[in-house]
C-alpha cells in the first residue's frame, strides 16, 4: 500500500540522492493499482527501465492513463497505433503470469513493442495526445497521481518519463501524500485537474490530437529549448542501467518480484488471467445458497468443469485451503480433468487414482497418513467411478481421510452415474460438500436412482440447483448456432422383410397391459437383431456419400461421423472399453471409411475403443491433417475439439444423454467457425397410416416417437427450424403424429 512507503522527510526526490526519482516511481508502481500521468516527453524506454514495478502493477490489474505531447519515437508511435487499432496478438501476454509480464517488459526488442501495443489494446495503457491550442509550444506537464484502493500520492517536478529523464538528467520531483496533514486538498485539486484533461477533456487551452498527428521527427527546436531527451541513443542508456539495478531499492524490488512469482507458482487461479462468466458466478451462488450441495444441469460445451472448479477456487479464497475429489466415468475424462485442474487452475498436489497411474494406491496411502498425523495439506484427487467404488480406494479413503470429510468437496462429473445400483452402495453421504455435473441428470427408466441422486445433492428433478440450458447458451453466444438437416433413409427390400419378420415374432411376447415386451433372453436377442437391421441399413452409407457430395469434398473438413454402435459400457463398473467386444463395430467403421475414401479420398481416422494413439489423432484433427473422425461412442465424452464444424449421426439411441452430448461437442465455440452443421439419418418406419395391423402400427409408432423426440429437440433450436419441421411433417402425418405440437412442448422445456 502507498501509505507503507518510506518517504523522504522533505517529500522531495532528487537525482543522485538516496531518494531519487527512479526510486519514487518504482516503489509507487509496486504499491498502487492506478496511475494518471501528465507528461512532457514520453518514451517507452521508461517502462523498460521500470519493468520490475510495471510487471507487478499490471499483474494486479493496474491501469495507466497518460496525457503526452505529440513527439514520440517511430517505434512508440507504431506501437500506440497498433494498440489503438487492436492489431495485436490476442494471447500475447497472460496477465496472471507475473514472470511472463516481467520478461516481456524487460527485453527492449521487437517483442517489447508488441507487448506495449497489447497493453494499449487491452486498456492497460490509455493515451491522450495533447498540444497547446495557441502558439508553437508543446505540452510539457510533469505531474501525476498514484492511487491504491485507499490513498493517493500526487507529484510534480522536472522529470520527463523517458530513459534519459530517469537516468541522466538532474531532476527533482516533489510528492504530496494525501495521508499527511496539509496535502489532502492539494491532491484533490490535482486529481480534478488531471481528470479534466484525461477523462473529461474539458481544458480550453488544449487541443486533442489523433495518432496521425504524432511527430516522429524530433530534431527541431521548440521555445528555444533543445529537445535532447529523445535524441539520446537509448542503447547507451541501457548499458548504464546495470548500475541502477545495483541500488538497494532495485534489489529489494527484484526480491519482492521473485517472492511473488514463487507464491503465484503454487497459488490457484482462474484460467488465463480471466474471470468466470456471469452464469458460472450464479452457479456458485446457488450452490452456496444450498449449503454447498447441488446438481448443475448445464448444456455440454458450456464449461461444466470450469464452473465446478470455480466453486473450489472461490472456497479456497475464503478458507485458504482446497481439498476435493473428482469422479469421472472414463480414463479419457481423467486426462481432461487433470489438464483443467493442474494447468488451467494451477491446483497443485493432485493425484490420479485409476489404471493410468499404477502407483495410485501408494500415493493415496501416503496422502492419507499426512492427514492422520495432522499435517495440513492441499490436495485434489481425480478418479473414475469404478476405482472409487473399489475395495482398495474405499479402504484407504474411509480409514485415513475421515477427519477431513467435512472439508472435502466431491465433484461428480456425468453425475447420473452416481444413481446406478452398483454405486448406490458406496454413495459418499459422509462428504458434506457436493457438486454434481450433467447435461442430462435424469436417469432413464430409473425412478429409484433419480430419487437417490436428487436426495444426495439436496435438490429435485423439477428444480435443479442451477440450470444453464442449450437454448440460453446459444442465445448468449456461449455455444455456436447450428443448422440441422434430418435425412430420411429407407430400408432396402430384404432389410425391410427381415425387420418385419423379427417384429412379428416380437409381437408374440408383447405385454399390452404394460406396453412393454416381456423380459427374456430370447426377446433381448430379437430386439438386438432388429436394432442391427436399422443400424446397418445399407442406404445410410449412400446418404453419407450424398451429403459429402452436397457439401463438396474439398469443403468437408473438421467432421465427426458417428457410425452405428452395438455395445453399452457401465461406467460404474468399468472405466475403459473392452476392446474384445468391438470387432464387429470395427468392421462396420472400416466399411464406411473404405466407401468414403473410394469416392472422395478423404483423410480419415477411426476413433474407437481399440484406438491406441487417440491423443495423436486428435492433434492431427485439430491441425487439419485429418478431414474426419469416425467413431461410435468414443467421441461422446472426454473429447474437446471445438474446431469441429460438421457432424453426421448415422444412428443415435433414444437416450437424451447420448444425443445431447454429441450435439454439445459440435457446438463448442471456435474462431475458425461461425456455425455448425448437423446431419441426422433417420430410417423411415416400415408402415404408414394405411396399414391395418393395429398392433404393428402401435409398436412402430412408439419406436418412431423415440427417434422423433431427438429430431424435435434438435430442430427447435436450429437456425432452420421451420424447414426442419416442414420436412418431417409428411412423415409424421403417416403415423398420425402432430409434429408442431411436439415442437411446442419441447420449446416449453426451455422456459
Signed CA dihedral, 409, 412, 415, 419: sign only: negative
Looking at 217, 238, 264, which one is the last position of a domain? Answer: 264
- Average pLDDT score, the chain: 85
Residues 184-196: pLDDT tens digits? 999 999 999 888 8
Task: Say what the pLDDT of residue 663 is.
Answer: 86
Collect all residues with Cβ–Cβ distance below 8 Å to 295 and sequence separation of at least 6.
415, 436, 438, 441, 453, 454, 457, 459, 464, 465, 466
CB atoms closer than 10 angstroms to residue 747 = 14
Residues 329-368: pLDDT tens digits? 988 889 989 999 998 999 989 999 999 999 999 999 999 9
Looking at 230, 264, 298, which one is the last position of a domain? Answer: 264
- Residues 150, 37 share a domain: yes
Q: Is residue 323 situated within a structural domain?
A: yes
Task: Say what the pLDDT of residue 219 is.
Answer: 42
Residues 597-609: pLDDT tens digits? 999 999 999 887 6
Looking at 249, 264, 279, which one is the last position of a domain? Answer: 264
Residues 437-449: pLDDT tens digits? 998 888 766 778 8
Cell numbers of 642, please?
471445438
Q: Is residue 30 situated within a structural domain?
A: yes
Q: Is residue 575 situated within a structural domain?
A: no
Cell numbers of 389, please?
467404488
Task: Say what the pLDDT of residue 568 is.
Answer: 45
- The beta strand positions in 204-341, using DSSP E, are 206-209, 221-222, 225-226, 293-298, 323-328
How many domains, the chain?
Answer: 4
pLDDT higher than threshold 50 for residue 229: no
pLDDT higher than threshold 50 for residue 580: no
pLDDT higher than threshold 80 for residue 658: no
Task: Say what the pLDDT of residue 594 is.
Answer: 93
- Residues 277, 366 share a domain: yes
- Residues 532, 425 share a domain: no
Task: Say what the pLDDT of residue 17 is.
Answer: 83
Task: Say what the pLDDT of residue 655 is.
Answer: 66
Domain CATH number, residue 108: 3.30.870.10
Domain CATH number, residue 596: 3.40.50.300
- Residues 446, 521 share a domain: no
pLDDT band, very low/low/confident/very high, at 310 (cuts 50, 70, 90): very high
Q: Is residue 574 situated within a structural domain?
A: no
- Residues 654, 634 share a domain: yes
Tell me which of 513 and 572 has the higher pLDDT: 513
Lowest mean pLDDT among 179-193, 289-303, 352-366, 503-517: 503-517
- Residues 532, 611 share a domain: no
Q: Is residue 312 situated within a structural domain?
A: yes
- Residues 248, 152 share a domain: yes
- State which residues form the domain around 354: 271-468
Q: Is residue 619 situated within a structural domain?
A: yes
Collect all residues with Cβ–Cβ distance below 8 Å to 337 and sequence separation of at least 6.
305, 326, 328, 382, 413
Q: Is residue 221 situated within a structural domain?
A: yes
Q: Which of 4-18, 378-392, 570-584, 697-711 has the highest mean pLDDT?
A: 378-392
- Residues 260, 210 share a domain: yes
Q: Is residue 475 situated within a structural domain?
A: no
Task: Say what the pLDDT of residue 369 is.
Answer: 96
Lowest mean pLDDT among 174-183, 528-537, 543-552: 528-537
Task: Say what the pLDDT of residue 654 is.
Answer: 61
Task: Say what the pLDDT of residue 266 is.
Answer: 82
Its pTM stands at: 0.71
CB atoms closer than 10 angstroms to residue 3 = 14
- Residues 97, 54 share a domain: yes
- Residues 193, 286 share a domain: no
Candidates 126, 144, 176; CA nearest to 38 is 144
- Residues 501, 434 share a domain: no
What is the rounded distance in angstroms from the CA atom of residue 675 to the CA atom of residue 671?
10
- Residues 652, 695 share a domain: yes
Amino acid at each position: 500500500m502507498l501509505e507503507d512507503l518510506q518517504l523522504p522527510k522533505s517529500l522531495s526526490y532528487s537525482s543522485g540522492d538516496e531518494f531519487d526519482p527512479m526510486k519514487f516511481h518504482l516503489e509507487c508502481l509496486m504499491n498502487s493499482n492506478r496511475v494518471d500521468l501528465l507528461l512532457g516527453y514520453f518514451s517507452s524506454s521508461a517502462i523498460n527501465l521500470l519493468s520490475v514495478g510495471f510487471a507487478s502493477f499490471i499483474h494486479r490489474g493496474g491501469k495507466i492513463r497518460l496525457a503526452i505531447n505529440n513527439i514520440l519515437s517511430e517505434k512508440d508511435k507504431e506501437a500506440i497505433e497498433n494498440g489503438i487499432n487492436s492489431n495485436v496478438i490476442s494471447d500475447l501476454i497472460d496477465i496472471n503470469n507475473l514472470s511472463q509480464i516481467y520478461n516481456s517488459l524487460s527485453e527492449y526488442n521487437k517483442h517489447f513493442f508488441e507487448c506495449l501495443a497489447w497493453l494499449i489494446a487491452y486498456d492497460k495503457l490509455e493515451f491522450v495526445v495533447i498540444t497547446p491550442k495557441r502558439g508553437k509550444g508543446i505540452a510539457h506537464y510533469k505531474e501525476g497521481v498514484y492511487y491504491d484502493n485507499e490513498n493517493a500520492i500526487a507529484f510534480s517536478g522536472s522529470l520527463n518519463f523517458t530513459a534519459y529523464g530517469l537516468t541522466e538528467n538532474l531532476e527533482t520531483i516533489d510528492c504530496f501524500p494525501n495521508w499527511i496533514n496539509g496535502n489532502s486538498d492539494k491532491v484533490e485539486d490535482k486529481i480534478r485537474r488531471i481528470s479534466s484533461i484525461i477523462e473529461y477533456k474539458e481544458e480550453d487551452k488544449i487541443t486533442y490530437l489523433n495518432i496521425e498527428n504524432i511527430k516522429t521527427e524530433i530534431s527541431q527546436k521548440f521555445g528555444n529549448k533543445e529537445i535532447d531527451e529523445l535524441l539520446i541513443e537509448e542503447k547507451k542508456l541501457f548499458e548504464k542501467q546495470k548500475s541502477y539495478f545495483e541500488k538497494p531499492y532495485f534489489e529489494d524490488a527484484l526480491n519482492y518480484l521473485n517472492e511473488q512469482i514463487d507464491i503465484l507458482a503454487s497459488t490457484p487461479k482462474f484460467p488465463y488471467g480471466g474471470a468466470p462468466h456471469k452464469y458460472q458466478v450464479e452457479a456458485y451462488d446457488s450452490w452456496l445458497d444450498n449449503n454447498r450441495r447441488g446438481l448443475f444441469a448445464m448444456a455440454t460445451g458450456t464449461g461444466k468443469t470450469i464452473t465446478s472448479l470455480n466453486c473450489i477456487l472461490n472456497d479456497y479464497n475464503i478458507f485458504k485451503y482446497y481439498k476435493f475429489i473428482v469422479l469421472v466415468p472414463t480414463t479419457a475424462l481423467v486426462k481432461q480433468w487433470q489438464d483443467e485442474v493442474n494447468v488451467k487452475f494451477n491446483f497443485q498436489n493432485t493425484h490420479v487414482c485409476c489404471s493410468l497411474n499404477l502407483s495410485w494406491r501408494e500415493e493415496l496411502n501416503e496422502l492419507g497418513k499426512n492427514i492422520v498425523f495432522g499435517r495440513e495439506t492441499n490436495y485434489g484427487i481425480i478418479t473414475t467411478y469404478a476405482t472409487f467404488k473399489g475395495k482398495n480406494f474405499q479402504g484407504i479413503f474411509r480409514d485415513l481421510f475421515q477427519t477431513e470429510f467435512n472439508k472435502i468437496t466431491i465433484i461428480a462429473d456425468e453425475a447420473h452415474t452416481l444413481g446406478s445400483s452398483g454405486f448406490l452402495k458406496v454413495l459418499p453421504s459422509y462428504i458434506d460438500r457436493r457438486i454434481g455435473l450433467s447435461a442430462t441428470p435424469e436417469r432413464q427408466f430409473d425412478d429409484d436412482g433419480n430419487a437417490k441422486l436428487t436426495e444426495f445433492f439436496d435438490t429435485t428433478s423439477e428444480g435443479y440447483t442451477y440450470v444453464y440450458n442449450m437454448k440460453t447458451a446459444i442465445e448468449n453466444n456461449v455455444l455456436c448456432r447450428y443448422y440441422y438437416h434430418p435425412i430420411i433413409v429407407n430400408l432396402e427390400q430384404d432389410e425391410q422383410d427381415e425387420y418385419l419378420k423379427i417384429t412379428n415374432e416380437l409381437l408374440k411376447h408383447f405385454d399390452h397391459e404394460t406396453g412393454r415386451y416381456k423380459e427374456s433372453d430370447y426377446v433381448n436377442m430379437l430386439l438386438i437383431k432388429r436394432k442391427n437391421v436399422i443400424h446397418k441399413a445399407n442406404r445410410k452409407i449412400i446418404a453419407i456419400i450424398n451429403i459429402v457430395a452436397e457439401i463438396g469434398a474439398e469443403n468437408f473438413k473438421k467432421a465427426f461421423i458417428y457410425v452405428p454402435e452395438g455395445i453399452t459400457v457401465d461406467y460404474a463398473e468399468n472405466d475403459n472399453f473392452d476392446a474384445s467386444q468391438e470387432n464387429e463395430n470395427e468392421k462396420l467403421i472400416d466399411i464406411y471409411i473404405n466407401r468414403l475414401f473410394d469416392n472422395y479420398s478423404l483423410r480419415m481416422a477411426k476413433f474407437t475403443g481399440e484406438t491406441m494413439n487417440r491423443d495423436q489423432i486428435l492433434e492431427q484433427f485439430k491441425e487439419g491433417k485429418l478431414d474426419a473422425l469416425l467413431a461410435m461412442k468414443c467421441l461422446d465424452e472426454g473429447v474437446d475439439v471445438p474446431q469441429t464444424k460438421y457432424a453426421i449421426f448415422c444412428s443415435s439411441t433414444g437416450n437424451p444423454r447420448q444425443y445431447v452430448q454429441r450435439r454439445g461437442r459440435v457446438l463448442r465455440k471456435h474462431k475458425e467457425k461461425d456455425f455448425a452443421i448437423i446431419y441426422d439419418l433417420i430410417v423411415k418406419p416400415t408402415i404408414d397410416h394405411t396399414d391395418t395391423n393395429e398392433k404393428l402400427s402401435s409398436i412402430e409408432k412408439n419406436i418412431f416417437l423415440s427417434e422423433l423426440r431427438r429430431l424435435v429437440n434438435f430442430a427447435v433450436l436450429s437456425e432452420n427450424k421451420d424447414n426442419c419441421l416442414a420436412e418431417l411433417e409428411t412423415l409424421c402425418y403417416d403415423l398420425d403424429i402432430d409434429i408442431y405440437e411436439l415442437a411446442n412442448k419441447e420449446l416449453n422445456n426451455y422456459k
